[in-house]
């Protein structure tokens, strides 16, 4: 089965998405998500100008060989743009192969390891009471796992708090909006938030929290220890993970589980954290970590060290990524949890899909492939709209981690 054509579709149904569509001489097509929030056009160009000319004429069934061609062949290996482009190609080819085999993708990966995929939602609020109310709303919706993020008293903005409690889109302006940060205020506030949230939801709901790269290792150790009474499912991105040694310091101070990896894009980024058991969940995703082919390798390495998957699933990862991720999550033996932020109705209309949500679990469909398509006519009605992620400064103006 030869690849006869490949096109990049950029659409903006409320936010920008980049989708690669691959066509074959047997009439089968496949799609893959290539969205990199705030840098969408870089991946679109990488695919159009550097990958697609190399795809035409290749055997669509040679998924591994094509992955190796684009990984080794680009010379400048790794990085979010390269690996998101490779991910889109890989996902589209797995979609085609599953369609050719006339089976849902999870069957091709090795069959079900579970019926449903436990997901967590994003509850957020401007203050503690607001956030508790949002968490209870998610509990009523049937979620078993809920992430809680709230405004910090004294700070006019912070990560994870949106105007709309159901949807969260951080890329809110053509040029970066500025958030502000004060670690002392945050460290005083976070334990009070989780004391109230845990008290409100009871002991059986999994609670998660995203620190979003903002603490030093020692501060992260302090925070983890202060949250231990509230038994979090995980604290996420406690400190920038370029310095992976730093996690050893955090581990000395706290048993609060740690999740890292949504900004990682190859197994090389994850290796030391996994092998030294410095994390409990690896957050790598289909769209940013080289697709299904590479994510399987990361999950298999993690399984050796009892590290479980906890893939990123924010709204800036398209339903195409979510669909492929669900088939992966349905198969992967060391599954932990899947992030799931509802897309808007506008987005869902552009990306019809067969996955369903019920009582805190997502269920991959039985359609051959990953079960997601793109309505190209509708997609064309939403032209690209420049948008970038915010930046973050300490209250004295120092540039900080967003
Ligand atoms: O865990 C998460 O969902 C966050 O870290 C994301 O919302 C992240 O900020 C965005 O995906 C960035 O585009
Ligand atoms: Mg995160």
Average pLDDT over residues 215-232: 98
Query: 156 with 33, same domain?
Result: no
**Among 209, 212, 213, 327, which one carries the catalytic annotation?**
212
Average pLDDT over residues 238-265: 97
| 327 sits in which H/E element | helix 319-331
Query: 77 with 130, same domain?
Result: no
Tell whether 374 is covered by a domain.
Answer: no
Ranges of H-type helices in 112-182? 128-140
| pLDDT of the residue at 389 | 97
Which ipTM score applies to this complex?
0.99
Q: How many domains does the chain have?
A: 2
Pocket probe for ligand 1: among 170, 173, 236, the residue whose CB has the most ligand atoms within 8 Å is 170
Tell whether 375 is covered by a domain.
Answer: no
The residue ranking higher by pLDDT, 227 or 156, is 227
User: Is 168 in the active site?
Assistant: no
Query: 156 with 287, same domain?
Result: yes
Q: Is the pLDDT of residue 227 over 80?
A: yes
Query: 195 with 46, same domain?
Result: no
Q: Which residues contact 191 (CB under 8 A, 6 or more apart)?
A: 223, 226, 227, 230
Tell whether 389 is covered by a domain.
Answer: no
Q: Is the pLDDT of residue 165 over 80?
A: no
Average pLDDT over residues 150-168: 84
Tell whether 402 is covered by a domain.
Answer: no
| pLDDT of the residue at 157 | 84
Domain with residue 73: its CATH number is: 3.30.390.10
Tell whether 396 is covered by a domain.
Answer: no
How far apart CA 82 and CA 151 sit, in angstroms, is: 35
Look at ligand 1, atom 3, and give the residue with the nearest C-alpha.
314
Query: 35 with 174, same domain?
Result: no
Q: Is the pLDDT of residue 287 over 80?
A: yes
How far apart CA 73 and CA 75 sit, in angstroms, is: 5
- What is the pTM for the complete model shown? 0.98
Average pLDDT over residues 334-344: 96
208: Cα separation from own chain's centroid = 15
Domain that holds residue 54: 3-104
Query: 162 with 72, same domain?
Result: no
Query: 31 with 180, same domain?
Result: no
Query: 272 with 348, same domain?
Result: yes
Query: From the alpha carbon of 283, which atom of ligand 1 is closest?
Result: 1
User: Is 186 in the active site?
Assistant: no
Tell whether 394 is covered by a domain.
Answer: no
For residue 281, name the pLDDT band (cuts at 50, 70, 90): very high
Average pLDDT over residues 102-131: 97
How far apart CA 119 and CA 91 sit, in angstroms, is: 21
Q: Where does a domain end: 86, 104, 122? A: 104
**Among 46, 106, 159, 168, which one carries the catalytic annotation?**
159
Query: 67 with 180, same domain?
Result: no
| pLDDT of the residue at 208 | 98
Q: What pLDDT digit, counting tens, does each position of 8-58 carry?
A: 999 999 999 999 999 999 999 999 999 999 999 999 999 999 999 999 999
Domain with residue 157: its CATH number is: 3.20.20.120
Tell whether 401 is covered by a domain.
Answer: no
Average pLDDT over residues 279-283: 99
How far apart CA 274 and CA 246 sit, in angstroms, is: 14
**Region class of 32: left (phi > 0), else alpha (psi between -120 and 50), else beta:** beta
Mean pLDDT of the chain: 97
Average pLDDT over residues 281-298: 98
Query: From the alpha carbon of 159, which atom of ligand 1 is closest?
Result: 9
Task: Using DSSP bridges, classify how beta strands 206-210 and 234-236 pair: parallel, antiparallel or unpaired.
Answer: parallel
Tell whether 388 is covered by a domain.
Answer: no
Q: Is the pLDDT of residue 228 over 80?
A: yes
The CB density around residue 257, as the number of other CB atoms within 10 Å, is: 19
Identify the three-state secondary structure at position 183. Answer: helix
Tokens of 29: 């097509």
* Closest ligand by atom to 317 CA: 1
- Helix, strand, coil shares, percent, the chain, to 5: 40, 20, 45
| pLDDT of the residue at 366 | 98
Q: Where does a domain end: 40, 70, 104? A: 104
Query: 296 with 168, same domain?
Result: yes
Query: 179 with 291, same domain?
Result: yes
Q: Where does a domain end: 84, 104, 124? A: 104
Average pLDDT over residues 280-293: 98
Query: From the alpha carbon of 402, which atom of ligand 1 is closest?
Result: 9
| pLDDT of the residue at 169 | 87
| pLDDT of the residue at 158 | 85
Tokens of 331: 């198969």
Average pLDDT over residues 64-88: 98
Q: What are phi and psi of 149, to 5 degrees?
A: -135, 135
Question: What are the pocket residues of ligand 1 if the criterion is a CB atom closer than 6 Å to any ligand atom?
Answer: 37, 170, 210, 212, 236, 262, 312, 314, 316, 339, 389
127 to 143, 155, 156, 199: CA distances (angstroms): 21, 11, 11, 16
Query: 140 with 258, same domain?
Result: yes
């Amino acid at each position: 089965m030869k690849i006869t054509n490949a096109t990049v579709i950029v659409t903006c149904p409320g936010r920008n998405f980049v989708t690669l569509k691959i066509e074959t001489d047997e009439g089968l097509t496949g799609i893959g998500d290539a969205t990199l929030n705030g840098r969408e056009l870089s991946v679109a160009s990488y695919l159009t100008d550097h990958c697609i000319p190399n795809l035409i004429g290749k055997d669509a069934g040679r998924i591994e060989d094509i992955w190796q061609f684009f990984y080794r062949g680009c010379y400048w290996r790794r990085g979010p743009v390269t690996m998101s482009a490779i991910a889109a190609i890989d996902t589209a080819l797995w979609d085609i192969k599953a369609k050719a085999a006339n089976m849902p993708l999870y069957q091709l990966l090795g069959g079900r390891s579970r019926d449903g995929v436990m997901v967590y939602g994003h509850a957020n609020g401007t203050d503690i009471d607001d956030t508790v109310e949002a968490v209870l709303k998610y509990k009523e919706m049937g979620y078993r796992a809920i992430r809680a993020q709230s405004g910090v008293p004294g700070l006019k903005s912070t990560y994870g708090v949106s105007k709309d409690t159901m949807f969260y889109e951080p890329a809110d302006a053509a040029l970066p909006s500025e958030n502000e940060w004060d670690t002392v205020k945050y460290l005083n506030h976070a334990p009070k938030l989780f004391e109230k949230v845990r008290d409100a939801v009871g002991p059986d709901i999994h609670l998660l929290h995203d620190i979003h790269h903002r603490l030093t290792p020692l501060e992260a150790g302090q925070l983890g220890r202060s949250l231990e009474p509230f038994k979090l499912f995980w604290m996420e991105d406690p400190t920038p993970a370029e310095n992976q040694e730093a996690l050893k310091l955090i581990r000395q101070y706290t048993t609060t589980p740690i999740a890292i990896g949504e900004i990682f894009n190859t197994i090389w980024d994850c290796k030391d954290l996994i092998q030294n058991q410095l994390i409990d969940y690896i957050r790598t995703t289909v769209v940013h970590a080289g697709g299904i082919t590479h994510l399987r390798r990361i999950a298999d390495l993690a399984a050796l060290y009892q590290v479980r998957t906890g893939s990123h699933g924010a709204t800036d990862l398209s339903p195409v990524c979510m669909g492929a991720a669900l088939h992966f999550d349905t198969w992967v033996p060391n599954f932990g949890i899947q992030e799931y932020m509802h897309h808007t109705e506008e987005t869902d209309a552009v990306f019809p899909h067969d996955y369903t949500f019920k009582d805190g679990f997502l269920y991959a469909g039985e359609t051959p492939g990953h079960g997601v398509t793109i309505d190209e006519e509708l997609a064309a009605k939403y032209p690209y709209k420049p948008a970038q992620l915010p930046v973050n400064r300490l209250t004295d103006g120092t540039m900080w981690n967003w």
